[in-house]
């Protein structure tokens, strides 16, 4: 009898090796390689040569019109926004996020909202019992919604149930890591099982025209657990972000074949579930205090929506030999670059101080347009002088200290003017003047070309800019 073939698969990246090792050579993770049964090889000579020629494909041109795909609109405005206008019929959507962030709560609310609009919805739980889901629905006030509920982990049973003619049009699978396929010899949650289970559910969605919503766990690095190919298999990938200490939750689009990417939806968590936030800028700035040094309002763009958020910086004398830089909500490498440009190009002395940076409200900013706002907050804290409370700042900083223009300038200024801001510190525009480049009404635009122009606003007498020494603190000696 032939011995069963074995292979070793990394549970982090899906790489396959012929022998076990403590460290994966592909992704560098430790203790992630697990032994699995290899698929049986096919008979000899069963390749393409023996199977014969395939049929000839027909090509079509790029010209032509394609109707927009039909969608299911849930009525939850922020969820429909990030999906591009609603759930597309026959699509597969993957949503990931930290444990307890609210993924199951959001999808239960979406299923209930669709069911109330006479769209048959099924909620299939692989982690919780039916009573636990019912208790959550009762707490959210959704126990009266006609949602079909069941608890199952077998993909074969789920596919057989959804194959019937009276099957629901929307199916929520919570979660994909608990699903298992009996044709795969590995435990649930492994790379092979996640890939095979997702493939079967995606094929079902395409074949039967069912919108399938998959819940995915995340690793300690914030990426969805399982093989990376899982995100390529589905049509839409959403990440649910937020801090446990904040009531705000951010639903961010990472991939969408039927709509824009990098779109965000803002929710507020309460004891009654997640509620839409129609104007996130006003909510992020609700707790803002004026006339405080180190605080600056940044006018950013998230997808197609302008969002104003407060950036806070604190520059304090360090108690250690190596100053500390702590960042929440922004890229720490980007902060190091901005601090280096301030020291090398503008003569600002920051080296002996700790720098703490925070994006208020739990929002994470990824665009380089926040460089100038971060620099303004750092310089404001260092000089102990507040940025004007009615000013917004945005712009990208180059390594030479130049301030570069960023996209969608007018949309940022219109949002700032709508919220009552009266001035804006922005990069100088080098394009031709026209109707699209006219400033928003009610806001004065101050354009700068170099980062030193910003620094001079906090040191008009050309004195060295440094943090004032705290009262009673001994003078630090430099040998």
Provide the domain limits for residue 318. 283-429+438-456
Q: Structurally, how many domains does the chain consist of?
A: 3
| 340 lies in the same domain as 272 | no
SS3 content of the chain, % helix, strand, coil (to 5): 25, 25, 50
Place 303 in a pLDDT band, splitting at 50, 70 and 90: confident
| 408 lies in the same domain as 264 | no
51 within some domain: no
| 238 lies in the same domain as 196 | yes
| 14 lies in the same domain as 105 | no
Per-residue confidence (pLDDT) for residue 466, from 0 to 100? 57
CA-to-CA distance for 59 and 322, rounded, in angstroms? 63
- Radius of gyration over every alpha carbon of the chain, rounded to an integer in angstroms: 27
| 171 lies in the same domain as 264 | yes
470 within some domain: no
57 within some domain: no
Which residues sit opposite 311 in a β-bridge? 296, 359
pTM exceeds 0.85: no
pLDDT > 50? residue 479: no
| 304 lies in the same domain as 451 | yes
466 within some domain: no
Per-residue confidence (pLDDT) for residue 434, from 0 to 100? 40
Q: Of 245, 305, 292, 363, which is closest to residue 81 (Cα–Cα)?
A: 305
47 within some domain: no
pLDDT > 70? residue 468: no
Per-residue confidence (pLDDT) for residue 462, from 0 to 100? 56
468 within some domain: no
| 396 lies in the same domain as 412 | yes
227: CATH: 3.40.50.300
49 within some domain: no
Give Cβ neighbours of residue 307 (< 8 Å, ≥ 6 apart).
Answer: 264, 280, 281, 284, 300, 301, 363, 415
pLDDT > 50? residue 472: no
| 122 lies in the same domain as 262 | yes
| 233 lies in the same domain as 123 | yes
Q: What are phi and psi of 150, to 5 degrees?
A: -155, 165
| 423 lies in the same domain as 296 | yes
339: CATH: 3.30.230.10
Place 473 in a pLDDT band, splitting at 50, 70 and 90: very low
**Cβ–Cβ < 8 Å for 392, 424:** yes
CA-to-CA distance for 407 and 418, rounded, in angstroms? 19
Of 24-38, 151-165, 231-245, 355-369, minimum mean pLDDT range: 24-38
DSSP for 49-101, written as a single string? HHH-PPPPP----S-S--PPPPEE--S-HHHHHHTTSSEETT-EEEEEE-TTS
The larger pLDDT score, comparing residue 188 to residue 332, is at 332
Exposure b/e, 442-471, CB count within 10 A at least 16 = b: ebeeeebebbebbbebbbeeeeebebeeee
| 237 lies in the same domain as 369 | no
Residue 379 CA to its chain's centroid (Å): 29
Per-residue confidence (pLDDT) for residue 464, from 0 to 100? 56
pLDDT tens-digit readout, 360-417: 888 889 899 999 999 999 999 999 999 999 999 999 999 999 999 999 999 999 999 9
Place 433 in a pLDDT band, splitting at 50, 70 and 90: very low
| 262 lies in the same domain as 128 | yes
CA-to-CA distance for 468 and 383, rounded, in angstroms? 7
Q: In what order do the strands lie in the sheet with 92-97?
A: 148-151, 121-125, 170-174, 211-216, 92-97, 236-241, 248-256, 264-270, 273-276
**Sign of torsion, CA 291 295 246 144?**
positive
268 within some domain: yes
Mean pLDDT of the chain: 86
């Amino acid at each position: 009898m032939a011995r069963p073939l074995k292979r070793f698969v990394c549970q982090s990246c899906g790489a396959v090796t012929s022998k076990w090792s403590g460290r994966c050579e592909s992704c560098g993770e430790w203790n992630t390689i697990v032994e699995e049964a290899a698929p049986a090889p096919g008979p000899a000579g069963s390749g393409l040569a023996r199977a014969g020629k395939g049929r000839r494909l027909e090509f079509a041109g790029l010209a032509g019109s394609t109707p927009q795909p039909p969608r299911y609109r849930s009525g939850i405005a922020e969820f429909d926004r990030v999906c591009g206008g609603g759930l597309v019929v026959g699509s597969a959507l993957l949503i990931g996020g930290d444990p307890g962030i609210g993924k199951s709560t959001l999808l239960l609310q979406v299923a209930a909202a669709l069911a109330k609009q006479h769209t048959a919805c099924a909620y299939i739980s692989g982690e919780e019992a039916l009573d636990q889901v019912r208790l959550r629905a009762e707490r959210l006030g959704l126990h009266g919604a006609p949602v079909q509920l069941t608890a199952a982990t077998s993909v074969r049973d789920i596919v057989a149930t959804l194959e019937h003619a009276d099957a629901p049009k929307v199916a929520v699978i919570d979660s994909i890591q608990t699903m298992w396929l009996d044709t795969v010899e590995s435990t649930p949650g492994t790379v092979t099982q996640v890939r095979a289970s997702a493939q079967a559910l995606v094929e079902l969605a395409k074949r039967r025209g069912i919108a399938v919503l998959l819940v995915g766990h995340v690793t300690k690095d914030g990426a969805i657990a399982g093989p990376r190919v899982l995100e390529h298999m589905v049509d839409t990938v959403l990440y649910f972000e937020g801090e446990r200490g904040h009531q705000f939750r951010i639903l961010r689009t990472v991939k969408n074949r039927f709509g824009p990417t990098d779109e965000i939806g803002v929710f507020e968590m309460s004891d009654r579930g997640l509620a839409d936030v129609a104007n996130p800028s006003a909510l992020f700035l609700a707790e803002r205090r004026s006339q405080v040094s180190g605080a600056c309002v940044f006018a950013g763009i998230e997808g197609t929506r302008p969002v104003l958020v407060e950036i806070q910086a604190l520059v304090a004398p360090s108690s250690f030999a190596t100053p500390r830089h702590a960042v929440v909500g922004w890229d720490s490498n980007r902060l190091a670059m901005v601090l280096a440009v301030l020291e090398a190009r503008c003569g600002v002395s920051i080296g002996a101080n700790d720098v703490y940076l925070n994006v208020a409200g739990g929002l994470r900013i990824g665009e380089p347009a926040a460089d100038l706002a971060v620099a303004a907050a750092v310089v404001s804290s260092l000089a102990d002088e507040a940025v004007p409370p009615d000013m917004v700042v945005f712009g990208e900083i180059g390594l030479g200290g130049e301030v570069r223009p960023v996209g969608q300038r007018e949309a940022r200024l219109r949002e700032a003017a709508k919220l009552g801001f009266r001035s804006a510190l922005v990069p100088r525009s080098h394009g031709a003047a026209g109707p699209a480049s006219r400033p928003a009404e009610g806001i004065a635009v101050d354009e700068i070309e170099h980062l030193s122009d910003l620094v001079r606003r906090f040191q008009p007498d050309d004195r060295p800019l440094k943090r004032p020494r705290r009262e009673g603190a001994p003078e630090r000696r430099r040998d």
